[in-house]
Amino acid sequence: MSNSPSRRLLAASSALLALALSIPAQDDRENSAPTGHALYAGLDAQQVGNLLNNGYRIVDLEVDPAQAGPFTVSLVPNSGSFARTWWWYYGLTLQQVGSYVSSNQARLTDLERYEVNGQTRFACVMESNTGANAKAWWYQTGITWNALLDFCSSHQARIVDLDTELVNGVRYYTAVMVRNTGEDQRAWWVYSNIGAAAVANALTANNAYLRDLEVLENGNFAVVMQARQGKAFWWYYGQTLSEIWFKARQNGARLIDIERYEVNGVTRYAGIMLNSANALTARVGELMRDATDGVVGVYLKQVGGGVRASLLGDWSFEPASMLKTLHHVHAMRRVSQGQLSLDAVWNVATSTNGSCPTGGAPFVNETVRDVLRQMMENSSNTRTMRVTNQYGMAALNQTAQALGMTGTALNHHIGCGGPVANELTLVDLGRLHEEVAQGYLGVQRQNFYDLMLNSLGGYPASGTLKLDDLIDAEAAALNLPAGMVATFKANCELAYKGGSYTVDGKQYRSIGGYVSLPVVVLGQVSSRNFVTGAFAHGASDGGQASAAVGVGAIEVLRDEVRAALQTWVGVTFGSFTSFGSGCQGSGGVPVQSTVGNPTIGQLATYRLFHGPAARPVTMFVGASKTQWNALALPLSLAAFGAPGCSLRVSPDVSLGLATNGAGQATLPLVFPNQPALIGASFHSQFLCLDPGVNQLGLTTSDGVTTLLGGAQ
């Protein structure tokens, strides 16, 4: 194999896409920041180059010259905290490695030694070693174990990349090192020719994680480990490529080291992976994995906003009855389009063979509303079959595709278990609910929710902690009063569906839906809306699978529930309250109306309707509606020539304005942004000059009490 000029140019061109950082770049094998990642094996140089042209860079490189596709690569996007000015090469002599290091002002991060036709060659990855990113570093090849350890000791160095080979019965090592001082100082350990149990024991004893792993010919390992410092990591060996890649996805991790080796002529892989999920995904994922041996996933996304958590969010799992949400949205779409009435009557076959509907007698007549309610609230498989038969599986799958649910397929009647499994992803379920939340069903949106399960005390269906309990616990930690907690719960909205299957002894559990949490914004209750779900797939124990789904579904909401409740802390809600009534005038009975936000710093508008046309009016603002000096309120104006009219507020402040030709007047008020006013109240009433309507020539409106709200 040769490192042709064209291939070198390809590598150099890819490197031009990298960004030079003004701060030291974090070591790839220490960086746990969430990022995309990829793993490929059996690639040739052109295929690797194509990936790099798509914005990736190599974090670990393996070369097997005996293969048609010799390269195995672990990749990350060359962006964010992973951005580098970097290069990769292969087919080099040791002298050429040094030449590229010198000309690029670089340092090696991965150095692989291999043989081609009896000649020693090297593949390598290097990055810029200039500016703030500069480090003291070394590399050695063809060195014995003791010599390597002596070199590290004498140079105050630690190994950041290790490779090894057996030559004529003697083991030699290739290593890249950095000076273990200053910002680069780490507690670290290196071992060679130790078994898996010894590796595990050393990790525990040292409270360390692996950063490099080499598989020896006898099945033992050479490893480099360093202080864990809270990092979540995993290591595996004896895996197929697909197995180790899926483990990375299940763990929310990325591979920092991948090793290809042969066991009895069969290719196997060993690898080290670091957590690459955000804090919420990592926390909930760990809880779910600890609860079951099944594959687990969890998802949370704000409607119209970003993804909060996603573990295997785009992986197709067996959803069981949760897939009935597709049937529900398909039918409700027809209702929204006027093609179906919720009051229409359908004939439903109710016979079953176990959980599988058979389509036979007895038959019952039910409204579409009742069919959908029983399908979604009681999880009736016979009602689900009725919807399926009404429209056909192809039409239901077309609706899924139209909603962007690319990982979804309805392949059999729910409850019948196959032979081809149904499929759904949590991202797809989220798309469905997000489309509904954003208007897919028009005015039928609320009916869609109302025909589903809605109980805070019933979500999730499994597990000991329910959403109602979670709200109570988080509210108690914030010392929110019981009345406010009750108001919070009353303003929550929830619509969900669960699923449960046992197929061939394997357990499948899932739940997901729509959650709306109330938040206080500028003294008014608004909402933050989310789509969410969790699943356990292929577990050996149903109770454990249910527990995993229960803990995942509730814990993924904890941070958002807490954040929503925090907006209620110290809040006093403002209000407008009408009292009394006006008296008959030339334009009818004057009525005072209010719009806006009765909160400090906010705008409210006071309006008069049904007043006299084009006449002066006065708005009285007073501190009391029961007393004005020595006079009790309301004060009847009958004795003054205005029968039926009353002064209802103390006229402490008089604001003059005029009605338009329709007898309307408007007075906008911006309340002072002074916390001392929170909880204060005042009263208002309009008095209208209305000549000829009575002896006094005045009419009055009803009164309004304004309570000013705000947050302390």
Mean pLDDT over residues 638-652, rounded?
A: 97
Instruction: Please report the pLDDT score of residue 25 as a whole number.
Output: 80
Asked if residue 273 belongs to a domain, the reply is no
Q: Is the pLDDT of residue 147 over 80?
A: yes
Q: Is the pLDDT of residue 8 over 50?
A: no
Q: What is the pLDDT of residues 14-64, one digit of tens each?
A: 333 333 334 678 899 999 999 999 999 999 999 999 999 999 999 999 999
Whether 540 and 679 share a structural domain: no
Q: For position 594, which CATH number holds?
A: 2.20.130.20
Asked if residue 406 belongs to a domain, the reply is yes
Asked if residue 99 belongs to a domain, the reply is yes
Whether 577 and 677 share a structural domain: yes
Whether 597 and 565 share a structural domain: no
Q: For position 364, which CATH number holds?
A: 3.40.710.10
Q: Label residue 5 by pLDDT band (50, 70, 90).
A: very low
Among 569, 603, 638, residue at a domain's last position: 569
Percent of the chain with pLDDT over 70: 97
Whether 525 and 591 share a structural domain: no
Q: Label residue 417 by pLDDT band (50, 70, 90).
A: confident
Q: Is the pLDDT of residue 182 over 80?
A: yes
- The Cα 194–Cα 237 span in angstroms is 14
Whether 504 and 430 share a structural domain: yes
Percent of the chain with pLDDT over 90: 95
Q: Please, what sign has the CA dihedral across residues 41, 45, 50, 54?
A: positive
Whether 565 and 576 share a structural domain: no
* DSSP for residue 27: P
Residue 426 contacts residue 352 (beta carbons within 8 Å): no
As given in the structure block, the two tokens for residue 232 are: 């979540």
Q: What is the pLDDT of residues 356-414, one digit of tens each?
A: 999 999 999 999 999 999 999 999 999 999 999 999 999 999 999 999 999 999 999 99
Whether 558 and 577 share a structural domain: no
Q: Is the pLDDT of residue 12 over 70?
A: no
Domain containing 20: what range?
A: 1-134
As given in the structure block, the two tokens for residue 235 are: 């290591």
Whether 416 and 492 share a structural domain: yes
Q: What is the pLDDT of residues 567-588, one digit of tens each?
A: 999 999 999 999 999 999 999 9
* b/e burial code for range 31-57 (CB count within 10 A of at least 16 → b): bbebeebebbbebebeebbebbeeebb
Q: What is the pLDDT of residues 605-630, one digit of tens each?
A: 999 999 999 999 999 999 999 999 99
Task: Compute the residue count for the chain.
Answer: 712
Whether 604 and 561 share a structural domain: no
Mean pLDDT of the chain: 95
Instruction: Please report the pLDDT score of residue 23 as a whole number.
Output: 62
Mean pLDDT over residues 317-334, rounded?
A: 98
- The Cα 113–Cα 606 span in angstroms is 82
Asked if residue 225 belongs to a domain, the reply is no
Three-state DSSP class for 439?
A: coil
Instruction: Please report the pLDDT score of residue 712 as a whole number.
Output: 83
Asked if residue 227 belongs to a domain, the reply is no
Q: Is the pLDDT of residue 632 over 60?
A: yes
Instruction: Please report the pLDDT score of residue 24 as a whole number.
Output: 73
Asked if residue 289 belongs to a domain, the reply is no
- The Cα 479–Cα 589 span in angstroms is 46
Among 118, 134, 150, residue at a domain's last position: 134
Q: What is the pLDDT of residues 470-489, one digit of tens each?
A: 999 999 999 999 999 999 99
Instruction: Calculate helix-pair angle for 324-336, 426-437, nearest 10 degrees.
Output: 20
Nearest to 552 by CA among 332, 284, 340, 212: 284
Instruction: Calculate helix-pair angle for 467-477, 482-490, nearest 10 degrees.
Output: 140
Asked if residue 488 belongs to a domain, the reply is yes
Whether 513 and 640 share a structural domain: no
- The Cα 261–Cα 215 span in angstroms is 7
Whether 302 and 448 share a structural domain: yes
Q: What is the pLDDT of residues 275-321, one digit of tens each?
A: 999 999 999 999 999 999 999 999 999 999 999 999 999 999 999 99
Number of domain units in the chain: 3
Asked if residue 414 belongs to a domain, the reply is yes
- The Cα 127–Cα 344 span in angstroms is 69
Q: Is the pLDDT of residue 96 over 60?
A: yes
Whether 301 and 444 share a structural domain: yes
In degrees and rounded to multiples of 5, residue 625 shows phi and psi of -120, 10
Q: Label residue 524 by pLDDT band (50, 70, 90).
A: very high
Among 104, 134, 164, residue at a domain's last position: 134
Mean pLDDT over residues 506-510, rounded?
A: 97
Q: What is the pLDDT of residues 209-228, one digit of tens each?
A: 999 999 999 999 999 999 99
- The Cα 517–Cα 522 span in angstroms is 16
